[in-house]
Amino acid sequence: MIHFDSIVKHYPLEAGFFAREEHKVFAVNGVDFRVEPGEIYGLVGESGCGKTTTARLLVRMERLTGGNILFRSRDGREFRLAGIGRADLAALRSRVRYVFQDPARSLNPRLSIREVLLSGYRYSPRWPGRSRAEEEARSLIQEVGLSVGDLDRRPADFSGGQRQRISIARALITQPEVLICDEVVSALDVSIQGQILNLLLRLREERGLTMIFIAHDLAVVGYVSDRIGVMYRGVLVEEAPARTLMANRRHPYTQYLFESLPVLRTDGESHRRRGDPALRATFSRRADATENPVSDATFLEMDEPEPGHRVSRIFSDAPRR
Amino acid sequence: MILTVENLSVDFATGGGLLHAVRDVSFTLDAGEVVGIVGESGSGKSVTAQSILRIIPANGRIAAGDIRFRDRSVLALDGEELRRFRGREVAMIFQEPGRSFDPIYSIGKSLAETIRAHQPDLGEDEIRERSIRLLEEVHVTNPERRLENFPHQFSGGLLQRIMIAHALASDPTVLIADEPTTALDVTIQAGIVDLLLELRRRRNVAILFITHNLALISSFADRLVVMYGGLVMEEGRTVDVLRSPRHPYTAGLLASLVPFGAHHSQQSLFILSGAPPNPMAPEPGCPFAPRCPLAKPGCREAIPEIRTDGGSRVRCIVEGPK
Ligand SMILES: Nc1ncnc2c1ncn2[C@@H]1O[C@H](COP(=O)(O)OP(=O)(O)OP(=O)(O)O)[C@@H](O)[C@H]1O
Ligand SMILES: Nc1ncnc2c1ncn2[C@@H]1O[C@H](COP(=O)(O)OP(=O)(O)OP(=O)(O)O)[C@@H](O)[C@H]1O
Ligand code: SF4
Ligand SMILES: [Mg+2]
Ligand SMILES: [Mg+2]
């Protein structure tokens, strides 16, 4: 179980000693949600709303400004991210794997794909020995739609989507308990994307893999997730079971976001931006990360109009239709 | 015709032998036209785009074919001419924003450099003003302050937009966009498409747009090129390709789209069974044959020729809608 307990992350907007304290990026502002074991939790929201930051806080690639994250692993061990020690952090990271949004930044260009897959694995508690690990690498590389011969090539020799699949394989080979997928299928064609989604769903069945699934494609997030959280300006504005949210969106921001989704057109109509213009104006005017959206903590309270469907009061005064 | 790609083939030297990334690819781009390239991951879309700018990685080689810009072969351009072609005529926006920025330069500094390269006469203040306007154009809020930030201080989507600002700085004739909206949310995607369409209206910019987002491209491109295994499998008007695909791969791709509202607890996804082609050991015949529901023995003998079928160009021996 993972509990993001009112987490806050502010970044300085200016670097250096003389950085003014009031100039900050309010990346995450009191987000509170739980992810249950074996659950796939989808996180959506516009660019810059704090999804990646939330994920990075869980693996301590960023330090919390406020709040805490509690992770209770399946073997009963508890981790609290605020003030976590080095040994605990190593133990946490062997259980929680993060697949980056931008794989070019995270694959060591000097290593072959075989080494990329095995290097992270070797120091994990599950390392099964060289030959067994090789075997797993061969089978996994095929499951992500590449071939065994690709193990000898280097990251630069691959297309963007192929690199993305390599970083998925690198995370999966260590058999993590929790997998954070940050925009991992967006660079794939829809056919290989389906294959990867099926692989993830299967691993959830087989191993009880818990997942935080971040993506902009709302149809994909809606398909793969059990529950979905919607973020806006570092605040969780709505949370509901995926099937509920796909059918019934209560917060005006969620309504706006979903209306902006492009749909496949086969009628030759030229591009037209969708989405209610009034809502668009309201939400794009407000989307400035250098202003604190939470001037009053009661803003963060969420109503629960039906069990499991939580709607934040913040920004909910936007014009509703 | 402003840009013509003619029978382009590109190989890479790898430890395991030659890899045929692009095979006999042809298409055209007219002034003010938007052409979308879609298709399999690894099918040669980015390498095709890189070939146009002659920026394929060092182990790659244009093995055959030609690329013509207006009436000149791009492959024959040299030194100053090549620099001008890359700087003024054709601008490219890349797939992975993280790789395109120097981490030690602030956004303002790198943008100023791009602007100065195209307009050497501008003073510091004018450059700053233009930088701010460009960031506003791509909807970066608080541009004055953001100019001082470094790449790591931006989310993926914000970096992508800043990259587009760089491309706009040179006022190009042809804009090649390689998955420019991949890491962007749906509202900004729509905004970027608006922006590109505005550029085409204002300056008649021709746009080559590589994407996996079929919904986005469906209302944006005049024509679509569908690639698989290094080959163009289908090419035609967007409406024709999407409404009545003539190639079984195109049909499979459309069937693989996740329908909005579908949920894994109720419905499984359509999956093209079988593995994508291995470019190190290509099939002798149609690369799609191992996965094609219509495959016949003849399909595996030779790569099918491109022929015209219902107004589209199609590389398949079976005629008619699929
Ligand atoms: N190191 C940093 N320093 C300053 N600001 C940062 C830093 N990292 C992120 N930010 C800012 O924090 C906010 C949240 O960024 P984050 O990357 O979490 O967004 P996101 O929801 O993942 O967006 P995207 O969908 O574009 O990836 C943005 O305004 C971003 O510019
Ligand atoms: N530098 C390189 N050396 C060897 N092979 C390469 C190199 N760059 C690309 N390739 C190979 O060339 C083929 C085409 O790659 P390309 O990047 O054009 O694919 P793509 O269609 O853009 O895919 P994606 O949708 O995943 O971005 C792939 O099989 C890739 O592995
Ligand atoms: S040529 Fe044959 S194998 Fe290839 S797509 Fe057409 S029918 Fe299928
Ligand atoms: Mg992100
Ligand atoms: Mg590519």
Residue with CA nearest ligand 2 atom 7: A157
Interface of A with B in 273-302 (CB under 8 A): 273-275, 280, 284, 287-290
What's the total number of domains in chain B?
Answer: 1
In a domain, B126, yes or no: no
In a domain, B160, yes or no: no
CA distance A1 to A271: 43
Rounded to 5 degrees, φ, ψ at A144 are -95, 15
Query: A241-258: per-residue pLDDT in tens?
Result: 999 999 999 999 999 899
Three-state DSSP state, A190: helix
CA distance A121 to A118: 5
Report residue A87 as tokens.
């040994």
A104-108, A150-154, B89-93: which range is least confident on average?
A: A104-108
CA distance B35 to A122: 46
Q: Residue A42's closest CA among A240, A275, A259, A200?
A: A240
Residue with CA nearest ligand 3 atom 3: B289
In a domain, B235, yes or no: yes
Judge whether A95 and A132 are in contact, CB under 8 Å: no
Give the closest of A142, A271, A289 to B219, CB-based. Answer: A271
In a domain, B145, yes or no: no
Q: Residue A96's closest CA among A66, A125, A73?
A: A73
In a domain, B149, yes or no: no
> Would you place residue A22 in the very low, low, confident or very high pLDDT band (cuts 50, 70, 90)?
low
B39 to chain A nearest CA, in Å? 6
Query: A159-202: per-residue pLDDT in tens?
Result: 888 988 999 999 999 999 999 999 999 889 999 999 999 999 99
Burial of A267 (0-12, 13-18, 19+ CB in 10 A): exposed
The percent of residues above 90 in pLDDT, for chain B, comes to 62
Query: B28-58: per-residue pLDDT in tens?
Result: 999 999 999 999 999 999 999 999 999 999 9
Query: B169-203: per-residue pLDDT in tens?
Result: 888 899 999 988 777 777 778 777 887 888 788 88
CA distances to A1, A19, B133, B297 from B112, rounded to whole Å, are 48, 23, 12, 59
Query: B239-260: per-residue pLDDT in tens?
Result: 999 999 999 999 999 999 999 9
In a domain, B11, yes or no: yes
Kind plus residue range of the DSSP H or E element containing A302: strand A302-306
- Residues spanned by the domain of B194: 3-96+169-257+267-314
The domains found in chain A, sorted by start residue, are 2-312 (3.40.50.300)
The percent of residues above 70 in pLDDT, for chain B, comes to 98
Q: Is the pLDDT of residue A271 over 60?
A: no
Judge whether A30 and A294 are in contact, CB under 8 Å: yes
Query: A37-73: per-residue pLDDT in tens?
Result: 999 999 999 888 999 999 999 999 999 999 999 999 9
Neighbours of A20 (CB within 10 A): 9
ipTM surpassing 0.85: yes
CA distance A185 to A167: 11
Q: Is the pLDDT of residue B289 over 80?
A: yes
B201 to chain A nearest CA, in Å? 13
In a domain, B321, yes or no: no
Kind plus residue range of the DSSP H or E element containing A106: none
Judge whether A298 and A313 are in contact, CB under 8 Å: yes
Three-state DSSP state, B312: strand
Max intra-chain CA distance, chain B = 68
- The bound ligand whose nearest atom lies closest to the alpha carbon of B301 is 3
Verify whether the Cβ–Cβ distance A263 to B276 is below 8 Å. Answer: no
Q: Is the pLDDT of residue A226 over 60?
A: yes
Judge whether B304 and B317 are in contact, CB under 8 Å: yes
- Residue A321: the pLDDT is 43
- Residue B88: the pLDDT is 83
| Residue numbers in A near B197 (CB within 8 A) | 270-271
Please tell me if the CB atom of residue A266 comes closer than 6 angstroms to any atom of ligand 1: no
CATH code of the domain containing B241: 3.40.50.300
- Residue A18: the pLDDT is 52
CA distance A234 to A29: 5
Q: Give residue for tokens 């805490």.
A: A68
Q: Give residue for tokens 């992975």.
A: B96
Q: Amino acid identity, residue A225?
A: S
| Residue numbers in B near A152 (CB within 8 A) | 15-16
Interface of A with B in 132-191 (CB under 8 A): 142, 145, 147, 149, 152-153, 156-162, 165, 183, 186-191
Q: What average pLDDT is seen over chain B? A: 91
- Residue B151: the pLDDT is 85
- Cα B43 to averaged position of ligand 2 atoms, centre (Å): 7
